[in-house]
């Protein structure tokens, strides 16, 4: 499954999905549910490094292994883990998809 998320200048978000399966469809539903929330609700949502690490640990994955699986650099994943950087929406979607969870499973708020 291949995701691409683009935000247009007018504020519209375009999501392109190729090779979707049932798991991917569940993920897409979670993303669309999140994006359909009012802007104030979306702004309250925050990346949870604790949830990210819990899900990695639960699956027995190390960040270096997950980097290979997700296609996101290990350096960037370590910054996400340590709350030194927050993932962009497209990165959060890739992370959730690679973990097999909904975007909601990685945010607080």
pTM of the model: 0.66
**Cα separations in angstroms, 59 against 44, 55, 62, 83:** 28, 6, 9, 21
Domain residue ranges in the chain: 2-108
Q: What tens digit of pLDDT does each residue of 18-71 get?
A: 777 776 777 677 777 767 766 676 666 788 899 999 999 999 999 999 999 999
Could you confirm whether domain 2-108 is CATH 1.10.260.40? yes
Ordered DSSP codes for 40-94:
HHHHH-EE-HHHHHHHHHHTT--HHHHHHHHSS-HHHHHHHHTTSSPPPHHHHHH
* Percentage with pLDDT > 90 across the chain: 32
Residue 14: what pLDDT?
80
């Amino acid at each position: 499954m291949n995701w691409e998320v683009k935000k247009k200048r007018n504020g519209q978000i375009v999501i392109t999905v190729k090779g979707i399966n049932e798991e991917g469809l569940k993920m897409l539903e979670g993303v669309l549910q999140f994006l359909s929330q009012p802007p104030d609700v979306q702004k309250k949502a925050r990346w949870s490094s604790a949830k990210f690490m819990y899900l990695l640990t639960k699956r027995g994955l190390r960040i270096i292994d997950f980097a290979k699986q997700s296609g996101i650099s290990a350096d960037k994943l370590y910054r996400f883990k340590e709350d030194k950087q927050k993932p962009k929406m497209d990165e959060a979607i890739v992370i959730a998809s690679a973990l097999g969870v909904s975007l909601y499973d990685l945010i607080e708020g």
